[in-house]
Structures are given as C-alpha cells and as structure tokens.
Amino acid sequence: MSKSGTVSMANLAVFASGNGSNFQVIAEAVQKTGHSVEFLLCNNSSAFTLERAKKLGIRTYLVSYKNRDREEVEKEIFSLCKKHDISVIALAGFMKLLTSYFLTRFQGEILNIHPSLLPKYAGVDAIQRSFESNDPEVGISIIKIDAGVDTGPVLFQKAISRPESMTIEETEAAIHALEHEYFPKIVIQELDKIQK
Ligand code: GAR
C-alpha cells in the first residue's frame, strides 16, 4: 500500500520445474490485479509449465543446472530478478533448493508451497508420505523460504480430514485443490504489501 492508500503495482516471478498447475492459477489470478507476472523461471526444458506460460503470454527463462556451480546458476537467477525488479518470488513446485548465495542477495519475499502440514513430511514425496501415515488430516503449507528444506516460517496452513476410504488419487486431488485455492491468494496478499 502506498502512502496515499492505493495499492502499488509489484512484480512477481514464479519458479517451477514440472506440471505448473500452481503457476497457472497464480498467473491467472495475478493478471487480474494491477501486479505483474514478469516471468516464469524453469530448470527443466520438458516441463509442461513452459506450455502453460506460452498460452498465458508470460515470458519464460529456462535455466540449466547441469554441470554448473550452484553459485553460477543463482547469479544468473539473481540478475534476472534484478533486471525485472522482482519483489515476490513464488516457488510453485520448483525442485531446486535456493542457497544462501541467492537468499542473502535477494531482498524480496520468497514463498513456497508444500503439499503437507509442515513440519511433517518436509522434502520430496510429501503427498505419498502423508497418505501412508496414520494421520487423520492432510493439508498444505505456504512458507517463507530459508536455507533449509521446507523449514522457513509458516505463513499459512490448511488441513482437511482424511477418511480411511480416501485413495491416494483422491488425496492428491484434494491437496492440489487446496493449493489452487489458497496459494494465489497468499501471493497476491504479499504483492499488495509491497511499498513502491
Ligand atoms: C505441488 O503439489 C507443490 O506443493 C509441490 O509440487 C507440486 C507442483 O505441482 N511442491 C513440493 O513438493 C516442494 N517441496 P504443479 O507443478 O502442478 O504446480
């Protein structure tokens, strides 16, 4: 919010590695606000998320991690963020860890969606591990990123009960539905907070 009480425009970048369903719902929601989806950054040339960006008319950057130092890659990512004056990054199924090299330089917010009720089931295969547990609930977490694996401060969590009869497919669909409902809202909430 600016001093005059009006919401200023802020720039978002989304980082994704795979299907990109979260990228798509975020991009569609943000495009209806005054904020700008500046680019999708992807580390996987065969990711479906690249097709989604093309259809939405959103610029993409493909960044390769292959045979490169993490620092060199993050330097490239940082300069893209600087070039586009990015205030908020949404990690939407981005399967690379950002290290302290990037985290100490980037001054904006970095939000991450995770398909479990953290601190439970941090890391990969979280839906599978939630499903295989005896937990009566499953859910999602939206966190701010730190240098650990899914250890940053929790901004938002939503749980749903899980009847014994629920299959893995149904569990997955329910978790994705929660992600699609809430991640765009939290991203827009953070963009609205940026003072320009
Ligand atoms: C989402 O379920 C997201 O929570 C998960 O990857 C999926 C990406 O789906 N992220 C993580 O597991 C991060 N640790 P999408 O590509 O369809 O948005």
Whether residue 4 lies inside any domain: the answer is no
Determine the Cα–Cα distance for residues 141 and 161; give it in Å rounded to an integer: 15
Res. 4: pLDDT tops 80: no
Kindly report the protein residue whose alpha carbon is nearest to atom 1 of ligand 1: 93
Whether residue 64 lies inside any domain: the answer is yes
Number of domains in the chain: 1
**pLDDT value, residue 8:** 78
Whether residue 5 lies inside any domain: the answer is no
What pTM does this model have?
A: 0.95
**pLDDT value, residue 53:** 98
- Whether 114 is a known active-site residue: answer yes
Whether residue 161 lies inside any domain: the answer is yes
Whether residue 1 lies inside any domain: the answer is no
Q: Is 152 in the pocket of ligand 1 (CB under 6 A)?
A: no
At 15-73, the pLDDT tens digits run 999 999 999 999 999 999 999 999 999 999 999 999 999 999 999 999 999 999 999 99
Atom of ligand 1 nearest to the CA of 16: 16
Instruction: Report the residue among 21, 175, 178 best suited for mutation to probe ligand 1: largest number of ligand atoms under 8 A from its CB.
Output: 21
Select from 121, 112, 136, 101 the least CA-distant residue to 186. Answer: 112
Res. 2: pLDDT tops 90: no
**pLDDT value, residue 147:** 87
Range of the domain at 117: 11-193
Which entry of 84, 114, 176, 180 is annotated as an active-site residue?
114
Whether residue 188 lies inside any domain: the answer is yes
Q: Is 113 in the pocket of ligand 1 (CB under 6 A)?
A: yes
Res. 3: pLDDT tops 90: no
- Which H or E run contains 77? helix 70-83
Check if the beta carbon of residue 135 is closer than 8 Å to that of residue 154.
no
At 84-114, the pLDDT tens digits run 999 999 999 999 999 999 999 999 999 999 9
- Residue 57 falls in which region: left (phi positive, over 0), alpha (psi -120 to 50) or beta: left
Kindly report the protein residue whose alpha carbon is nearest to atom 2 of ligand 1: 115
CATH assignment at residue 148: 3.40.50.170
Q: Is 40 in the pocket of ligand 1 (CB under 6 A)?
A: no
